[in-house]
Structure 1
Amino acid sequence: MKRPGPVVTLLAGLVLGLFLLSLNATTGTKPASSTQEAAPAASTSPSAEPSPAPTKTTAPPSPSPTPSKKAPSNADYAGRTDDDSSAIAVTVRGGRAIAYFCDGHDKESWLKGDVKDDGTMKLTGKKGDELNGRLQDGRRIRGTVDLGGQRYGFTADQAVKPSGLYRATATVRGAKVDGGWIVLPGGDQVGILKRDDRPAPAPEIDPETGAVTIDGEQLTARPVTP
């Protein structure tokens, strides 16, 4: 038997190649998609507005304490102690004050000192007597008097003449006479008259003129100023 020639072999290979090519075209597989699924877009929240810087709150300044009304440069005050046992009068002139405490029998004291711009005052007398007071509402003085080991609270209202503080000093029938009078609003009078330092209730004065009769002699009690 003769072997197939080279031509026959070549033809057979060509037919086989065409067959395989035709088969591949008919049953060929779809190439896998190389496109990757796009990652979902990241959700973006609307940009939040920047929080405003905290407002620094400043507490309103504390109201300044209202100072007491300044004591009038020229004023007179008169009143009674809280226990109604005595009277007191204070005369203020240009930042200075003089006061008289009197029970109308045998207890009295003259005191003096400065008045501060806020209306406070500390007046002193003999034997350690002391008055501490303060002007209130521009119309009265409220305070205390320390005298003879006792403390007396008092209120003295602004006085209109003839109310106020009066004094008379003289020599009558060889005796040294020294009298002090407080004329209260309403007309009541409280006073002590000393004869050679011996105290006794003072006779009344005429508040309009200050006239007073002592041991048959007429004297004039005058308003007291610091």
Structure 2
Amino acid sequence: MKRSGPLYTLLAGLLLALFMLSLNATTGTKGASYGGDQPAATPSPTGTPDATPSPKPKPEPESKPSPPPNADYAGRTDDDTAAVSVSVRDGKAVAYFCDGRDQESWLRGSVEDDGTMRLTGKGGSELDGTLRAGKIDGTVDIRKRKWTFTARKAVKPSGLYRATAEVRGADIDGGWIVLQNGRQVGILNRDGKPAAAPEIDPATGAVTVDGTGLTALPVVP
């Protein structure tokens, strides 16, 4: 009976070993090599990059007014004491103011695309006008006097004429405005002395000065 003691001890040891193995199987952690939980992988970006923004359309350029047409204009001052004629070519203009006695002035300058013009002449003479709807409305300042005028489109033989020559030793410079109704207003200078000009033939520009035949030509800038 005394031999059963070691046997009991051996059996208890086996039971303890089995208990420990069972405990390890139920409570132990699995190794990483056996598919333990892995940290979540960072998802790779799948979105497409933003498309390059389309360039903004350029604003349409504002249309500029057309340059004034080439034409001649003639008319009277509002007080009917003088005449004004303007010749326009390729954005340039030449004008003549004349009272048919002793007041005259030649003026030159540019015409803007909107029809406005500021022409200047000797002695500070100035013409300010606006070309619109086939006529020029404006003012002329000459020797501290101002006239307002309206010059309408003139069709040949109406318009502006000039003749320069030497006749019998005198320098001749004549200017003529032929109005739409055929009336003529002009001044003839002999060595700088103004006087009423003889009439020209509008069809040919022919004129006789002191017995000498001259030709008055249309004036253009």
1:202 to 2:200 alignment: no
1:71 equivalent among 52, 68, 71: 68
CA 1:68/1:159 → structure 2, altered by over 3 Å: closer, same or farther?
Answer: farther
2:211 equivalent among 203, 216, 219: 216
1:99 equivalent among 95, 100, 104: 95
Q: Tell me how far apart the structure 2 counterparts of residues 112 and 151 of structure 1 sit (CA, whole Å).
A: 17
TM-score (structure 1 length as normaliser): 0.69
Q: Tell me how far apart the structure 1 counterparts of residues 77 and 201 of structure 2 sit (CA, whole Å).
A: 24
Alignment of 1:35-46 (within 5 A): none
| Runs of 4+ residues over 6 Å off in structure 1 | none
Q: Tell me how far apart the structure 1 counterparts of residues 65 and 210 of structure 2 sit (CA, whole Å).
A: 46
- Asked if the contact 1:191/1:201 (under 8 Å) is kept, the reply is yes
The number of equivalent residue pairs is: 159
Alignment of 1:1-226 (within 5 A): 70-72=67-69, 74-137=70-133, 139-226=134-221
SS in 2 for 1:162: coil
- What one-letter code is carried by the residue in structure 2 that aligns with 1:127? G
- What one-letter code is carried by the residue in structure 2 that aligns with 1:212? V
- Asked if the contact 2:107/2:120 (under 8 Å) is kept, the reply is yes
Q: Tell me how far apart the structure 1 counterparts of residues 76 and 91 of structure 2 sit (CA, whole Å).
A: 23
Tell me how far 1:136 sits from its aligned partner.
Answer: 1.8
- What one-letter code is carried by the residue in structure 1 that aligns with 2:163? A
SS in 1 for 2:150: strand
**Identity of counterpart residues, as a percentage?**
66
CA radius of gyration, larger in: 1
Tell me how far 1:70 sits from its aligned partner.
Answer: 4.4
- Asked if the contact 2:67/2:91 (under 8 Å) is kept, the reply is no
- Cα shift readout 1:77-128 (whole Å, capped 9, x = no counterpart): 0000000000000000000000000000000000000000000000000010
- Cα shift readout 1:166-204 (whole Å, capped 9, x = no counterpart): 000000000000000000001000000000000000000
Q: Tell me how far apart the structure 2 counterparts of residues 79 and 204 of structure 1 sit (CA, whole Å).
A: 18
Segments of 5+ residues of structure 2 without an aligned counterpart are 1-63
- What one-letter code is carried by the residue in structure 2 that aligns with 1:83? D
Tell me how far 1:68 sits from its aligned partner.
Answer: 7.6
Alignment RMSD (CA, Å):
1.4
Q: Tell me how far apart the structure 2 counterparts of residues 161 and 69 of structure 1 sit (CA, whole Å).
A: 24
- What one-letter code is carried by the residue in structure 1 that aligns with 2:94? I
TM-score (structure 2 length as normaliser): 0.70
